Chain A
Amino acid sequence: MEQFPRRLLTVVTEAVLERELLAELDALGVRGYTITDARGKGGRGRRQSDWAQEGNIRIEIVCDAALAERVAARLRERYYDHYAMILFLQDVSVLRPDKF
C-alpha cells in the first residue's frame, strides 16, 4: 500500500479564538481540520474545559509541508504574544494524497 508523506500541525489554544482561527485557516487555504475540546496545564496555568470562557481547543491539520509552515508562521506572528497557544509539527503518512 503506497503511503504519502504529509505534515500534521497541532494547535492547542483558547476556545474563544475558535471562530477567528477558522476564518484564518480558510484564508490560508487549509482544506480540512479536526477540532476537539481540550484541557490541561501550561505556561498560562491550568485550563478547564467545563467553563467555556476558560476552555481550550485542539486543532489538527494535515497538509503539505509548505502550507503547514505558512500556517504556523502566521499563527505565531499573530497570536503568540497575547494568547495561550502552542503549536507542534509532526511527520505523518496518508493513503489518499488528493485529500490533503
Chain B
Amino acid sequence: MPSLDPVIWFFVLGIAAGVARADLRLPAAIYEFVSTLLLLAIGLKGGVELAREGSGGLPAAELVGVLALGFLLPLPVYAVARGLGRLGRADAASLAAHYGSVSVGTFAVVIGYLAARGIAYEGRAPVWVVLLEVPAIVAGILLARGRSAGVAWGRLLRELFLGRSIVLLLGGLAIGWAAGPEGTASIQPLFFDLFKGILALFLLEMGLIAAAQLPTLRRHGLFIVAFGLLAPPLLAVAGALLGRALGLSPGGMTVLATLAASASYIAAPAAIRTAVPEANPALSLTASLALTFPFNIIVGIPLYERLAFALAA
C-alpha cells in the first residue's frame, strides 16, 4: 500500500478540524485566490505540454467521445436515483447533473498523483475538464424540465461557459500554448513549482467545507450515502473504457476515469439552483462534497490507476 500523498493529509486535517469545530476558517478571498491559482496552473501546464508535443490539439474522435460521455453519464445516475433512490424528478435530475459534471479539485489531485509517480498522461487532459463540465448540467436540466419553456437557456449557457473554471482553464491553456516551455519559464516558480503547496492549501479548505456538509448527511438517508460512495467507481469504469477506446495512455485513462468518477460542487450547484429551483440543493451538494470528493481523492484515484493499467495490459 503506497503511503498517502502529503496533500491528502491536509484534506484530512481540514475534515478533522471541521468536525472538531476548531477555530479554523480561511477567508473566502483566500479560497478564491487559491482556486484561481490552481485553475491557471492546470491550464498553463496543459498549454505548455500541447506546445511541446507540437500537436494540432484534440483529435476529433476524442472531442466527440468526451462530449458524449458528459451528456450520457447523467442518464444512469438519473435512472438509479429515480428507481433505487425513489427521488423525485427534480432531485434525481440535479444529482445526475452533479455526477455527470466534473470536479477540478479532483483533477488537480489526480495529476499531482500521477506526476509524483512519474506516470505520463496526455498534455491535453485539461481540455477534457472543459469539455466535461457543461454537457451534464444541460442534460440534467433537460431531465428535470423536458424541453418545455421556463429555462432561460441563453443566459444559463452564457453563465456556464463564462464560469470561472472554464475561463481560467482555457485562458491558462492559451497562454501556456502561446508562450511554450521557454516563455513560461519566468512564471514557473509560482504556477508550477508551488503547485503542490497551493493544492495543499486548497485541500485544507475543501476539508473544512466537506466537514461542514457532514451533519446534513443524516437527513438524507442511506441511499445518498451508498450512492456517494458506490457511484464513483462505477462511473470511473465508463471513463476508463472510453479512454481505452480512444487509445489513451494508461495515465490518460486514469485521468479520464477520475473525471468520470468526480462530481461537480461549483458549476452544477449554481446552475441547477437557478434552473431547477425545486430540487433540494443540499442533497446533491452533500453527496458530492462530503462523500464523493473524499472517496475519490483518498481511495478512488489509486483504484482507477490500477483499473487503467489492467485495461491497458
Which residues of A approach B to under 8 Å, CB–CB? 14, 16-17, 19-20, 37, 45, 48-53, 55, 81-83
Is the pair A50, B25 in contact by a Cβ cutoff of 8 Å?
Answer: yes
Q: Which residues of B contact A17 (CB under 8 A)?
A: 273-274
Question: Are the C-beta atoms of B212 and A16 separated by less than 8 Å?
Answer: no
In whole Å, how far is B25's beta carbon from the nearest beta carbon of chain A? 6
Q: For residue A13, give the distance in angstroms from its CB to the closest CB of chain B.
A: 12
Q: Is the CB of B273 within 8 A of A52?
A: no
Q: Is the CB of B28 within 8 A of A53?
A: no
Q: B residues within 8 A CB of A82?
A: 277-278
Of the candidates B26, B216, B274, the one whose C-beta lies within 8 Å of that of A16 is: B274
Cβ contact within 8 Å between B270 and A53: yes
Asked if A50 and B274 sit within 8 Å, CB to CB, the answer is no
Which of the residues A16, A37, A49, A50 comes within 8 Å of B270, measured between beta carbons?
A: A16
**Contact assessment for B25 and A53 in the assembled complex, using a CB-CB cutoff below 8 Å:** no
- Indicate which residue in A16, A20, A53 contacts B265 across the interface (CB closer than 8 Å): A53
Q: Would A50 and B269 count as touching, CB distance under 8 A?
A: no
Interface contact tally, CB-CB below 8 A: 35
- Please measure, in the bound complex, the distance between the C-alpha atom of A83 and the C-alpha atom of B275, giving whole angstroms: 12
Cross-chain contact B212 with A48 (CB below 8 angstroms): yes
A52 and B274 form a contact (CB under 8 A) = no
- A89: shortest Cβ distance to chain B, in Å? 24
Contact across chains for B26 and A50 when beta carbons are under 8 A apart: yes
Contacts of B285 in A (CB 8 A): 53
B72 partner residues in chain A, CB cutoff 8 A: none
With A16-B273, A83-B277 as known contacts, state yes or no: A49 contacts B265, CB within 8 Å. Answer: no
Would you list 6 pairs from A and B whose C-beta atoms are within 8 A, ordered by A residue?
A16-B274, A19-B159, A50-B27, A50-B31, A53-B285, A82-B278
With CB as the reference atom, state the residue of chain B lying closest to A37: B28
Of all chain B residues, which has the CB nearest A53? B269
Q: Name the distance in Å between A47's Cβ and chain B's nearest Cβ.
A: 11
Asked if A49 and B273 sit within 8 Å, CB to CB, the answer is no
> Is B266 at the interface (CB under 8 A from chain A)?
yes
In the complex, what residues of B have CB within 8 A of residue A37's CB? 28
A51 to B269, CA, bound (A): 12
